[in-house]
Structure 1
Amino acid sequence: MRELRYNPLTGQWIMVSAVRKNRPWRPRNFCPFCPGSEETGYGWEVLLLPNRFPMLSFDAPKPKNEDFYKKARAMGQCSVIVETPKHELRDLDELPREQMVKIVRMWIKITETLKENRNVAYLAIFRNKGEEIGVSLKHPHGQLYALPYIPLKVRLKIENSRRYYKRTGECIFCRIIKEEEKNGERTIYENDNFIVFMPFFASWPFEVHIYPKRHIQYLTDLKVNEIEDLAEVIQVTTATLNAVLDRQMPYAMMIFQAPFKGNYPFYHLHIEFYPILRDNGKVKYTAGIELGTWEFTYDGIPEENARKLKEACKKVSQRMSLKGKCI
């Protein structure tokens, strides 16, 4: 069974898939993403594979609706982006820069292809890292969900962005960039085309956002020099997160683009990292208040953790060839 179930209280769709419970958990003697497996073969650098245990599928059956509750076809695509043939690498900062550029180009190619699919309303490209975050396979990889609807969080961002634009004539993301550059207290790194900072409104202890300085909506809008600069800031960000507590940081990363259906000139491409450690060996759990109300608590002061990230960035910059600068 694979279907979408609508929550009338929140306006959300819940993805239901019976095949998901069959996913392998960290197999020790076999990796399906390594070169030479049945799925991968040889001679590749970055590989897009269908998820063998998908929540969504373009051939999903049409469910039968009930009298009150609403269901819909789990229409869409779930894929895995295998980022390197090398199994032992721990994070994106350990890749050669040219390999990171190839990953960004894969993100762009995926976006370009799925924008043409009339069944896709929104593309979520994301990355999970670490056993604490629930990653079932260690081989470096990201994922994509091509959704037939716009997720609630994205809808809220769009609504608030549209409201601010109507009131001021300004993109709210561009305004945030100006505020962070003016303040400087939370800015971690920047190059010619991107800025990395801890947001004023951070929910996670070491939360980091990446904004392009140019006002664009999609990865497909990136120019050649911007692709290279995005590859750099992704690597600087992951290196900084891994250095701030002197251990590999478990995190989730999400790329936010504009939806594919509709016109969103007021929206702005951005990337968010949600690291789940608040200290070495201490996880920031989402418990009662967060799960019950979706309202986050922040233990400490964001600017204090931003200073720790700044110091970590300066430390990793000494071993990385960078075009930009740690702030």
Structure 2
Amino acid sequence: MEIRKNPLTGEYTLVSPHRLSRPWQPEGFCPFCPGAPETGHGWDVLLLPNRYPVVTPTPPKPYTEDFYVAQEAYGRAYVLVETSQHDVDDLSDLPIGQIVKALKLVVEAARESERDEKLAYFFYFRNKGREIGVSLTHPHSQIYVLPVVPPRVALELAHSKRWYKRRGECLHCAIVKREDKRVIYENRGWKSFTPYYARWPFEAHVYPKRHVSSIVELGEDELVDLADALKKTLCAFKNVLEKPMPYIMVMHQAPLRLRLPYYHLHFEIYGMYRPDGRLKYAAGAETGGGLFTLETTPEEAAQKLKETAARRC
């Protein structure tokens, strides 16, 4: 287990061969259901250490060779089991109060992570759908607390800082104010929209209207509004093609212990279906060149999601 760095791009690879032995869509037994060895009884939301982590508090010493640099895979890895009910299809099917309970555990884990100076980044994410290789279907999300900042976030940080130095304002705040053509849903505290620069056929970014750079800055009311915004947006993803859509949801925030005037907490949701209902693959142009192609426009996708979000989930 180690973290290897690409000397050409600065990107990281989390090398974790032991993860090959994790359960893969088992039939008849779910390790996240109540009564399993890891879970026990009497809970409705649960944060567990990941049994097959990519980072660990006790990593082996990595091997470094000349310009091939590896570092210790130091960190924490968690699974957030969002409900005790196995047959719930998606986070959007849960009551807002249940989603808030799950989000509060994310906040607690982020606060705890800030106490460890060796940790650099708190990365919360959710994969949904057998089609994209989810190993367990019981509703859950994951947290990686890493000793490095993910390269995509680092790129956002660099561009946002450059803009802030030139213009004296948060680029993210400017985007939130400008995004009115592609709004999917908004409430008093949050706005969900398909960005002008979307890469996936169905994509949503969910931003707080108030400038905050870390999830630990959110108050109780803001967590309730966030739960509402996520529920409505994910409902739209679930129903826009009249069949559940596999998706990836990630949280981008500032590195641990930093409160930045130029970087804005937000969630990004990538729908994995094309408008015709077929799976969108990240193939040659996307994987090899970083050039995403769309068979629709962000405006068309946002309108479809907005119309669907207006219906009851």
- For structure 2, the 5+ residue unaligned runs are none
User: 2: CA distance between counterparts of 1:265 and 1:281?
Assistant: 40
User: 1: CA distance between counterparts of 2:277 and 2:203?
Assistant: 17
- For structure 1, the 5+ residue unaligned runs are 320-327
Shift of 1:280: 4.8
Q: Deviations over 1:58-109 (max 9, x none)?
A: 1001123223411211111111000000000001121122111101111111
Shift of 1:194: 0.2
Are residue 41 (structure 1) and residue 37 (structure 2) matched? no
The one of 295, 298, 307 equivalent to 1:302 is 298
What is residue 252 of structure 1 aligned with on the other side?
A: 248
The one of 210, 218, 229 equivalent to 2:214 is 218
The one-letter code of the counterpart of 2:210 is R
What is residue 200 of structure 2 aligned with on the other side?
A: 204
Are residue 233 (structure 1) and residue 229 (structure 2) matched? yes
Report if aligned partners of 2:213, 2:259 keep a CA contact under 8 Å in 1: no
What is residue 290 of structure 1 aligned with on the other side?
A: 286
How many matched pairs? 313
What is residue 270 of structure 2 aligned with on the other side?
A: 274
Report if aligned partners of 2:7, 2:67 keep a CA contact under 8 Å in 1: no
Shift of 1:262: 5.0
SS of corresponding position for 1:90: coil
SS of corresponding position for 2:202: coil
TM alignment of 1:66-77, pairs within 5 A: 66-77=65-76
User: 2: CA distance between counterparts of 1:134 and 1:201?
Assistant: 26
Report if aligned partners of 2:11, 2:151 keep a CA contact under 8 Å in 1: yes
Tell me the C-alpha RMSD between the 2 structures. 1.2
What is residue 147 of structure 2 aligned with on the other side?
A: 148
What is residue 175 of structure 1 aligned with on the other side?
A: 174
Report if aligned partners of 2:241, 2:277 keep a CA contact under 8 Å in 1: no
Shift of 1:313: 1.2
SS of corresponding position for 1:248: coil
SS of corresponding position for 2:177: helix
Shift of 1:201: 0.5
User: 2: CA distance between counterparts of 1:177 and 1:248?
Assistant: 28
Shift of 1:283: 1.1
Identity %: 47
SS of corresponding position for 2:79: strand
Q: With structure 1 as the length reference, what TM-score do the two structures score?
A: 0.93
